[in-house]
Amino acid sequence: MQVDPQQLVDDGFIIIKECIPSHQLDELRHSFEELVERQKSIWARDRTSTDPPGGVWETSGQPRLSFSTLIDSTTANAIEFCLHENTWGVSSEVIRDPKTVLKYITMMCNPVRDHGPAVWHRDIEPYRDGPLCGLQADMRANGIGTVQWNIAMYEDDVLWVVPGSHMRPNTETENQQLLDNPRVPIEGSIPVKLKAGDGVVYSNAILHWGSNYSTKLRRTIHLAFRPFNGSKYSYRPYIHWNLDFVTHLVPWAQKRFESFFKQVSKEFDTVSRTFRAVVDKDVQGFLDELAILHPVEEQQMVCVMLLTKLAYKVHKLNHPDVSQLADASARADAVAWPLDSLYFLDKIAQQFSVSESDILWSRFVSMGNRLKSDEDQYVPGFQTGPTKYFFNDMPANYNLANFIADWNI
């Protein structure tokens, strides 16, 4: 399928007509409905004492299922579709990377009762992803990072976007409108109208809105892909799946997922070597590994900012208050990291003693302090409320040489 990558750069989204070919639609609907029923049974089983009988299915405004954990050989086509030319192929083309990795595999469903509109937001969190303007500068210089998909099994007009907002911070008008009422259309916004089988691929940094979570039938595949094209380090480096499900797939799809896993593992190994060089004050070793993670020098400090956030998580994961938690989900929550990708962060943390992880954080803490204020900050249109982390601006007058010099403080 031919697409124009420049449209994603300019507008932040591209509508893909007949992403699901019409002759495949009924078969995929059947498989996905089977997966929905399996997930509903799990939610009903795992409900709390205060939940209704259906658990999350009845309480959520947008029930989501991570269907990689639900498939078997009879429903494997649901996963295999995510690797086809109309999905993985288009993603590879628009972010200009033949090594694009599928990192997030879910489906969004309608609620059992009307929940109305959500709030406008970008899928960016200052404490996890970093200042928005830094990420955007890196995208302008080195290409789009994570892209998301909504692929409609039935007609879907829930999503609205503000074209071009992925490459800039909010305007003053947008901020005021979002503060006044974040649940209505804002200036310059448009609906993304998808017919059954259509898809939209978009930057997760774009301002977007779930306009109405009603009981109208909704079965919309929601995916995310990230590049490994060697020009930049991703601000969402992890994947939201493991390899347990691949035995249900056809051989070519198994190999594709195994390749994805190896790519991600290799990158985390590079991060580990980078951290070891920092602990050892090996300046050249650090620069060599940084050049692997983010080969283009322009906006390399964005990569250092992202490594700062990872270094803090490794430091915290090795702290006895967290490392001694028996429950993996509790450890993942403690460091704000996806449980299904905790393996990678654990692998790094295990290569450093408690004292070494303290040293690691001491080398990054100067950068870490520059990413925060003493007082709460707030900008509307993000996935978080007030926080001490800066929403938009990277540290001023602070470069790679300053960061390395601070190792001696």
230, pLDDT greater than 80: no
Q: Show the tokens assigned to 361.
A: 């954080």
C-beta separation of 197 from 25 below 8 A: yes
pLDDT, tens digit (0-9, with 9 covering 90-100), for 1-29: 789 999 999 999 999 999 999 999 999 99
Q: Do residues 341 and 328 touch, judged by C-beta distance below 8 A?
A: no
93 near 3, Cβ under 8 Å?
Answer: yes
The percentage of residues in the chain with a pLDDT greater than 70, rounded to a whole number, is 100
Q: Look at the chain and count its residues.
A: 409
Local confidence band at 409 (pLDDT 50, 70, 90 cut-offs): confident
Report the C-alpha gap between 392 and 396 in whole angstroms.
12
Kindly indicate the confidence band of residue 374, based on its pLDDT and cuts at 50, 70 and 90. very high
Q: pLDDT, tens digit, for every residue of 187-214? A: 999 999 999 999 999 999 999 999 999 9
Cα(166)–Cα(120) distance, integer angstroms: 13
Q: For residues 11 and 168, is the Cβ–Cβ distance under 8 A? A: no
Residue 264's beta-bridge partner residues?
none
Handedness of CA 306, 308, 312, 317 (dihedral sign): positive
Domains (range + CATH), the chain: 5-249 (2.60.120.620), 262-408 (1.20.272)
Residue 161: name the closest of 152, 148, 142 by CA.
148
| Count of C-beta atoms within a 10 Å radius of residue 378 | 12
Task: Read off the pLDDT band of 231 (50, 70, 90).
Answer: confident
Give helix then strand counts, H and E, for the chain. 16, 11
190-191 and 159-161 beta bridge pairing: antiparallel
The 3-state DSSP class for residue 210 equals strand
pLDDT of residue 229: 66
102 neighbors 225 (Cβ within 8 angstroms): yes
Backbone angles phi, psi at 160, to 5 degrees: -120, 150
Contact 156, 150 (CB under 8 A): yes
| pTM for the predicted model, two decimal places | 0.96
